Amino acid sequence: MVTVALESSVVAAAGLAALLLTLAAVIGTSGNPLECPRPAASGSAPSGWQPRTPEQTLYAYVRCLNDSSASIEMKIRWVMWQPDQSPESQCYVKCVSEDLRLYDPARRQFVPERFEQQARAFHEDPEADDIRTLYTDAHRLLAGELPDSDCSTVFAKYAPFYAVHQEHILDIFHGDLRKILVTYQRLGPRVKQIGQSFVDYCEKRYGFAWAEEEQRPCPNQTAVQCILRGFRWITEEGSVNVAEIVRDFDGFGVEASELKQCQGADDLYWCLRSLNSDKLAAVIRQRDAQTAFYFDQSSTDEPWKSAVDFGNARLNRA
């Protein structure tokens, strides 16, 4: 009996040692989130809403357009800032309003003061009489809780305000090519430029090389957060955007049920890497390539040709 007990203890000890060695090997190659130093509350939301940059507005316009099943003819109207009252157009307006955080679906309310914040950040004369009228009308026409967040309800609330202030809205939300190029130049390295991938932007802004960081057990957390937020895998409020991650992993052989287990913003990269580090690296490369241009500006396909023609027509105005 004593011999059997001793043999069992030896086997158990050997098994524990093997387990510890295995864990050590895993930590050494993939990085254990619990062992990697990161700033406290690094995934927390930033302090308040910030005026939208050209990168943010372009992303919203293109993503909402691409996700719509509307006809090409209808999308041509959208890129010319002329949505009609069709159900598809109503949902496009709602999609953009939500993505830019101008409409809060949880509260079923527009946030009127954000139009003033946007104008004060990007309009050349935010104290002009017509711009001050925009501030007043935003509160007068957009304030109040809606009965629901249906596309038609949100559109009906927004349409009267848009009809009066279309040119100014187009101006301050970076829809006028005459102003966009100047704004990009003014913001410089503080915003991802057109033609620049998000990894390149993050590398230049924070001084790291992602090819080196992703080989480390514990990549720099600032690098990780910049890239994942740029991909919209982490929202600006600091939560994990599971739907966006599942979308980007499509075709890479990782089950959605596995991806949905990664719910912590601070640990998101390490959680995804633990599923399959090679596939994560491949997904990041693919998504990064897509971020350089949100649409092909040299395309002869619609609605992109009309979008470029519309922008150039405004650029060439006297």
Lowest model confidence (mean pLDDT) among 22-36, 211-225, 246-260: 22-36
pLDDT band at 43 (very low <50, low <70, confident <90, very high): very low
Say yes or no to pLDDT of 24 above 80: no
For the stretch 160-166, contacts whose Cβ atoms lie closer than 8 Å and that sit 24 or more positions apart, written own/partner, are 161/137, 162/93, 164/137, 165/133, 165/134, 165/137, 166/81
Give me the residue spans of the domains in the chain.
54-188, 194-292
- Structure confidence by residue, pLDDT tens digits, 115-140: 999 999 999 999 999 999 999 999 99
Could you check whether 54-188 and 194-292 share the same CATH topology? Answer: yes
Pairing of strands 109-110, 103-104: antiparallel
Say yes or no to pLDDT of 170 above 80: yes
CB 283 within 8 Å of CB 233: no
Q: At 228, is the secondary structure helix, strand, or coil?
A: helix
Residues 6+ away with beta carbon under 8 Å from 149: 94, 105, 108
Q: Supply the pLDDT for residue 298.
A: 80
Q: Supply the pLDDT for residue 177.
A: 81
Q: Domain 194-292: give its CATH architecture.
A: Orthogonal Bundle (1.10)
Q: Supply the pLDDT for residue 90.
A: 98
- The two three-digit tokens of residue 209, written as one number: 């090389």
pLDDT band at 174 (very low <50, low <70, confident <90, very high): very high
Average pLDDT over residues 64-74: 96
Average pLDDT over residues 213-225: 95
pLDDT: is 297 or 153 the higher one? 153
The helix (H) or strand (E) run that includes residue 103 is: strand 103-104
Say yes or no to pLDDT of 42 above 50: no
Q: Supply the pLDDT for residue 178.
A: 80
Average pLDDT over residues 154-167: 97
Q: Whole-number mean pLDDT of the chain?
A: 88
CATH superfamily label, 54-188: Pheromone/general odorant binding protein domain (1.10.238.20)
Average pLDDT over residues 208-224: 96
